[in-house]
A and B are shown apart, each in its own frame.
Chain A
Amino acid sequence: MFQIPCPHCGLRNVAEFRHAGERRPRPDPRTATPEQWRSYLYTYDNHADWTRETWYHRLGCRRYIGVERHTVTNEIRPVS
């Protein structure tokens, strides 16, 4: 079980967190085309590499935090 350094709580087991998805900007809901909006809803980079993600510290401070994780090794590094 790898660990995530929570900026508020310190190094914690991943089981305390919920993965909340790749970080991607929300298109402007007033102007987004269906393609743009659905790309935001459904399409992922899904890199096998370093990825910027949001995790929710469900069993801790209950903050949403930014994390950079390598999706092959599960190594974590501070968000650059």
Chain B
Amino acid sequence: MSPLATHRLDPQPGELLDRSRPLSFTFEGNPYTGFAGDSIASALAAAGVRVFSRSFKYHRPRGILTASHLDPGCTVQVGDEPNVRAAARGLAEGMAVHAQNAWPSLRLDVRAANGVVGRFLTAGFYYKTFMAPQRLWPAYERVLGTFAPGGRMSGAVDTLAEYDQRYAHPDVVVAGGGPAGMGAALAAAQAGAEVMLVEQEHELGGHLRWGGPAELVLLQDLRAAVAAAPGIEVLLDSVVVGRFDGNWLSIVQRDLPHVEERLIKARAAALVVAPGLVERPYVFAGNDLPGVMLGTAVRRLINLYAVRPGTQAVVLTANPEGDAGVADLQRAGVEVAAVLDARRGEDLRRALGRGGVTGVETADGRRVACDTVVTSIGWTAPTSLLNMAGDRPWYDPSAARFRPSDDLPEGVLAAGGISGDGTVEELVEHGRSVGAAAAAGHGAAGRPAALPVRAHPERFRASTHGIVDYSEDVSSKDIIAAAAEGYDSSELVKRYTTATMGPSQGKLETVNTVAVLAEATGRPIADLGTTVWRPPYAPISLGALAGRVHEPVRHSPMQPWHEAHGAAQLIAGAWIRPDHYGDPQAEARGVREAVGIIDVTPLGKLDLRGPDVPKLLNLVYVNKWSKLAEGSVRYGVMCAEDGVVMDDGVTGRLGSERYLMSTTSSGAATVWEHLENWLQTEHPDWQVHVTPLTTYYASINVAGPRSRELLARVTEGIDLSPEAFPYMRVRTGRIAGVDECLMWRIGFTGELSYELHVPASYGLQAWEALLSVGADLGCAAFGVEAQRILRLEKGHLIVGQDTDGLTRAYDAALGPMVKLDKDDFVGRPELFWQEQLGEQTRLVALQPVDGTIVPAEASQIVRRNAIVGRITSSRMSPTLGRSVCLGYVEVGLAEPGTVVTVLLPDGRRIAAAVQPQLAHVDPEGERLRA
């Protein structure tokens, strides 16, 4: 049986409830019912529930304080979702709601004992103890860690929860859908602007919703006008959470039918900040007892949710809104036992009770019995978005709050309560004038004047001490003590006490914190200022920020074949490539013995045209390019200006002013930008046009002693004989029926080999044709792993693996490539000096003396325990039947035959001999010239 809704009132004129739709849910395992339109908290409050959670440090019982998004005591776990704001989240059928921070149960919380020892757990107490011995700190820490507030993550992936993102380019975004915000949206739309009106709650209206009959009429009129106005997009349950450079706004949208949360990224010409005011709690002893509420909380509960907040109330009021709260209480049948008027100097001293309010003690010593204490003692202007735009709010003592400056950044305006005070009509009117200005794109000069600000009693703390930050359990005493210890600025006191660092991020607590600090230090609030408000204005899920994941991957046109033939995937940046098809050693042997083909499509390919291409090549490569004949290709090495090896590849001359440059797969984009940089910034007079062709061609390397034989079967119009098509030449012709294919005779694997570049749409056809006509020759596909084995046998370095961020050309044994007699090339000065001074380390080929051991790549080469080199590449060589390596050694150890010590990751030390050349196999290069 659900408890009866003992605190539910008869229908209220502005209530949100749909009483025809009862909803069942559980709280702490007990069944409850509420109505559609209830928040979780209102449904519980209607059933008389007063305790919703336990506090972070002292585990004190906590109830409703603000009845809004910010309510620090109403954070609950719903199913596997932690930290749900129970006072804002709409009730749904079947919700399983649990209190957080209570152990073993909300009613009996053993950690509440912390409250008893509270005087020892002053702010920062943990800095003063648990120091020694250090080895015990992990044990202390585990205990402290169990006090961490917040809900519980289940670890299960919610596959149904989708998130998405949207881009928008509205003229005007209005943050806040109260009277001023609606006014602003209407006026801006009237002026022809496209407007986004963003409201955090489930409906427009702001505080009009809990006003009297006149406010409700105005509310209906405004809502109708907004609904009728063309050009206003209303976003409910949505918050402008961030304002970044260039009025780039992040808006989080919730309560959508199909997605969990959506992030809207809006580039707005103007942002109108109209959040109204946040009611500020009052600091006094017992101010966190369940039953102590803000005036706005009471008005929300009564008017929006038809919940009677209590039976007997004492009200402390300093403003007309507080007075209206008294009227609401009386109308709801709550006995108002006393009204203390701060404007007449009346005050509370403390709230009495344990586990809930039983009465108050007033400043003049009276005791009044009650179960509800209501305070309406002042306001905080939520200037967060203005702050993000660069505005620093200033403190106005006559209004007892911080206010936006008059000189707001361009494109940012403030409307309504944040700007000043007025009747609801005045707020709407102010909103209208600001909205019109926003639509007109006026600068600061054309802005409407801020609203006047009415005097308000400046009251922050009673004569007693109470909680300043409810989420963090920080009291005014803590802040005064921290100031006395030297933590006497807004920033230091925040960091030391953690005040304002909790889930509401200071929206309730900042001003009280600064006010108590001002009291403690004797400095005016205006001098202390607040800490900087940071984005987001309201918490936003990681899911919404991430949106749908758009991480493109790149495949070659031959991917279907690879997949059908069991290729193991290798992720290489954006590319997915076949690493091997089951047995890389066999694939490598196949190349050495017969013929194999590999998909090398990711190789970077740049088409270079124009009369000045040789100049460009001479500039970006360390070697010479002036005399490259048509039909020839050459290997080149690029260094950066600091002489560090940047990329390598072959470039061929296809015509008199036409070249094709190949780059490493990972360097394709970088090299393109590098060429453009030199052409555009240093040599704009050179006539060279660069076009990236990486994915225009599908690229296939055909390698092995029988590759010529294979190609002869599919090639038309190219004489493949060694005399007609020798090593390092390029030809154009028809391959496998495809016209305009390029064929280079080069040899990364050390075998006779040809690299084919086939227009991409015919790549798969060419690939399959080669395999099918070459079946009898033993033609098989090989993957990247076999290629790595083969190139290592041949001693070819891989930039980025056999070089690092500081490897210069001479270190990498590329000295013979470097032509210092060229006047200029990128990196020349550094290489010139390196050549003069000599390199410190050098790339060499190494073979472990015990050829069965393959030292892991990155194994260090040591002399005793000093590092004198490292292995950069290592594999078992199928050709030699032994392990082979490339690595760096100090120059003194680079002599062929030197035996060095390699320290394996498992701690073993093995001997390895430096080889005479980098190539382990066919150092003379007879095979590739065959």
Q: Do chains A and B touch in the complex (CB under 8 A)?
A: yes
List A residues at the B interface (Cβ < 8 Å): 1-3, 18, 20, 26, 29-30, 32, 34, 37, 40-41, 54, 56, 58, 62-64, 74
CB closest residue in chain B, given A65: B680
- Nearest Cβ on chain B to A38's Cβ, whole angstroms: 8
Partner of B833, one of A30, A34, A64: A34
**Cβ B676 vs Cβ A62 within 8 A:** yes
Is B246 touching A64 in the complex (CB atoms < 8 A)?
Answer: no
Answer yes or no: B830 CB below 8 A from chain A CBs: yes
B residues within 8 A CB of A18? 673
Of all chain B residues, which has the CB nearest A23? B681
Of all chain B residues, which has the CB nearest A1? B248
Q: Does B829 contact A (CB under 8 A)?
A: yes
Q: How far is the CA of A1 from the CA of B641 in the complex (A)?
A: 31
Residues of A within 8 A of B829 (CB): 29, 32, 34, 37
**Partner among A29, A40, A62 whose Cβ is within 8 Å of the Cβ of B828:** A29
A20 and B677 in contact, given A3-B246, A37-B830 (Cβ under 8 angstroms) = yes
- Give the contacts of B205-255 with A (CB-CB under 8 A): 244-246, 248
Q: Report, nearest first, the 7 A-B pairs whose CB atoms are least far apart.
A: A2-B245, A1-B248, A64-B680, A2-B246, A37-B829, A29-B824, A29-B828
Across the interface, B244 reaches (CB within 8 A) one of A1, A26, A32, A58, namely: A1
A30-B824 in contact (CB<8A): yes
Using a Cβ–Cβ cut-off of 8 Å, how many residues does chain B contribute to the interface with A?
A: 18
Known contacts A26-B682, A64-B680; A1 and B245 CB within 8 A of each other? yes
Q: Which residues of chain B are within 8 angstroms of A29 by Cβ–Cβ distance?
A: 823-824, 828-829
Per-residue A-contact encoding for B441-465, CB less than 8 Å = 1, 0 else: 0000000000000000000000000
Interface assignment of B406: CB less than 8 Å from any CB of chain A? no
In Å, the complex CA distance between A74 and B681 comes to: 23
Known: A1-B246, A20-B677, A29-B828; 11 extra A-B contacts, CB below 8 A, are A1-B244, A2-B245, A2-B246, A29-B823, A29-B824, A32-B829, A37-B830, A56-B673, A62-B676, A64-B680, A64-B681
Chain B residues whose C-beta falls within 8 Å of the C-beta of A26 in the assembled complex: 682
Q: List 19 A-B contacts (CB under 8 A).
A: A1-B244, A1-B245, A1-B246, A1-B248, A2-B245, A2-B246, A2-B248, A29-B824, A30-B823, A30-B824, A34-B829, A37-B829, A40-B641, A54-B681, A56-B676, A56-B677, A62-B676, A64-B681, A74-B245
Q: Residues of B contacting A37 with CB < 8 Å?
A: 829-830
Instruction: Tell yes or no: B642 within 8 A of A by CB.
Output: yes
B 813-831 to A, binary, CB cutoff 8 A, 1 in contact else 0 = 0000000000110001110
A34 to B643, CA, bound (A): 13
Which B residues are within 8 Å of any A CB, using their own CB? 244-246, 248, 641-642, 673, 676-677, 680-682, 823-824, 828-830, 833
Q: Roughly how many angstroms separate A74 CA and B677 CA in the complex, as a whole number?
A: 23
A29-B828, A34-B833 known; A41 vs B677 contact (CB < 8 Å)? no
Report how far A26 CA is from B677 CA in the complex, Å: 13
Chain A positions within 8 Å of B830 at CB level: 37
Chain B residue numbers with a CB within 8 Å of A56 are 673, 676-677
Between B244, B680, B824, B829, the greatest number of chain A beta carbons within 10 A of the residue's beta carbon is seen for B829
Chain A's closest residue to B390 (CB) is: A73
Q: Are B673 and A41 in contact (CB under 8 A)?
A: no
Residue of B with least CB distance to A25: B682
- In the complex, how many angstroms separate the beta carbon of B410 from the nearest chain A beta carbon? 10
**Chain B residues with CB below 8 A from A34, complex form:** 829, 833
CB-defined contacts of B246 to chain A, threshold 8 Å: 1-3
Determine the main DSSP class of B at the interface with A. helix
Nearest CB of chain B from residue A71's CB, rounded to whole Å: 13
CA distance A54 to B681 in the complex (A): 9
Which residues of the partner chain A approach B681 to less than 8 Å between Cβ atoms? 54, 64
Closest A residue to B679 by CB, please name it. Answer: A64
Q: Shortest beta-carbon distance, A68 to chain B, in Å? A: 16
Give complex CA distance A18, B677 in Å: 12
- In the assembled complex, how far is the CB of residue B832 from the closest CB belonging to chain A, in whole angstroms? 9
Q: Which residue of A lies closest to B248 (CB)?
A: A1
Q: CA A56 – CA B679 in complex, angstroms?
A: 13
* Contact of B680 with A63 in the complex, beta carbons under 8 Å: yes
CB contacts (< 8 Å) of A62 on chain B: these are 676
A58 to B672, CA, bound (A): 11
Contacts of B642 in A (CB 8 A): 41
Closest residue on chain A to residue B677 by CB atoms: A64
Q: Which residues of A contact B673 (CB under 8 A)?
A: 18, 56, 58
User: Measured between alpha carbons, how far is A74 from B248 in the docked complex, in Å?
Assistant: 13
Residues of chain A contacted by B676 (CB below 8 angstroms) = 56, 62, 64
Tell me the nearest residue of chain B to A28, going by C-beta: B824
* A3-B248 Cα distance, complex, nearest whole Å: 10
Q: What is the CA–CA distance of A72 and B124 in the complex, to the nearest angstrom?
A: 35
The minimal Cβ–Cβ distance linking A48 to chain B, given in whole angstroms, is 16
Bound Cα distance from A58 to B669, whole angstroms: 10
Residue on B nearest A76 in the bound complex, by CB? B246
Residues of A within 8 A of B680 (CB): 63-64
How long is the Cα–Cα vector from A15 to B329 in the complex, in angstroms? 54
In Å, the complex CA distance between A54 and B245 comes to 20
CB pair B824 A41 closer than 8 Å:
no
User: How distant is the Cα of A76 from the Cα of B582 in the complex, in angstroms?
Assistant: 56
Bound CA–CA A64/B245 (angstroms): 23
Assembled-state Cα–Cα distance A58/B674 (Å)? 12
- Please name all residues of chain A whose beta carbon is closer than 8 Å to the beta carbon of B833 when the two chains form the complex: 34
- Kindly report which residue of chain A lies nearest to residue B409, judged by CB atoms: A73
Smallest beta-carbon distance B344→chain A, Å: 49
**Closest CB-CB distance, B805 to chain A, in whole Å?**
14
- Return chain B residues, CB-CB under 8 Å to A40: 641
Which residues of chain B come closer than 8 Å to A64, judged between CB atoms?
Answer: 676-677, 680-681
**Closest beta carbon of chain B to A25's beta carbon, Å:** 10
- The smallest C-beta distance from A77 to any residue of chain B, in angstroms, reads 14
For the complex, give the distance between the alpha carbons of A56 and B680 in Å.
10
- Chain A residues contacting B245 (CB-CB under 8 Å) are 1-2, 74
How many Å lie between the Cα of A32 and that of B642 in the bound state? 13
**Known A-B contacts A29-B824, A29-B829, A62-B676; A41 and B641 likewise in contact (beta carbons under 8 Å):** yes
Nearest chain A CB to B132's CB is how many angstroms away?
Answer: 43
Q: How far is the CA of A3 from the CA of B245 in the complex (A)?
A: 8
Q: How far is the CA of A40 from the CA of B830 in the complex (A)?
A: 12
Least CB distance from A23 to B in Å reads 9
For the complex, what is the distance from the CA of A22 to the CA of B683, rounded to whole Å?
18
* Docked CA distance A29–B827 (Å): 9
A72 to chain B: closest CB distance in Å?
11
Smallest CB separation, B142 vs chain A (Å): 42
Docked pose: A20 CA to B641 CA in angstroms: 14
A3 partner residues in chain B, CB cutoff 8 A: 246
Residue of B nearest to A62 (CB): B676
Q: Which residues of A contact B682 (CB under 8 A)?
A: 26
Distance in angstroms from A29 CB to nearest chain B CB is: 5
Distance of A64 Cα from B829 Cα, bound (Å): 25
Q: Quick one: closest B residue to A58, CB to CB?
A: B673
CA–CA, A68 and B567, complex, Å: 50
The minimal Cβ–Cβ distance linking A24 to chain B, given in whole angstroms, is 11
| B411 to A: closest C-beta gap in Å | 12
Instruction: Report the minimal beta-carbon distance from A7 to chain B, rounded to whole angstroms.
Output: 12
Minimum Cβ distance to chain B for residue A39 (Å): 12
Q: Please give the distance in Å from B443's CB to the nearest CB on chain A.
A: 15
Bound: A54/B833 CA distance, A: 29
Taking the closest CB of chain B, its distance from the CB of A10, in whole angstroms, is 13
Residues on the B chain within 8 Å of A74, using CB? 245
Among A29, A34, A58, find the residue whose CB has the most chain B CB atoms closer than 10 A. A29
Chain A's nearest CB lies how many Å from the CB of B49? Answer: 45
Give the complex CA separation of A54 and B682 in angstroms.
12
Which residue from chain A places its CB closest to the CB of B643 in the assembled complex?
Answer: A41
A52 → B minimal CB distance (Å): 13
For residue B823, which residues in chain A have a CB less than 8 angstroms away from its CB?
29-30
A66 to nearest B CB, angstroms? 9
Complex: A1 Cα to B244 Cα, angstroms: 6
Q: How far is the CB of A58 from chain B (nearest CB, A)?
A: 7
Across the interface, which residues of A come within 8 angstroms of B244, CB to CB?
Answer: 1
**CA–CA, A55 and B828, complex, Å:** 25
CB contacts (< 8 Å) of B828 on chain A: these are 29
> Considering the chains assembled together, what is the distance between the CA atoms of A41 and B830 in angstroms?
10
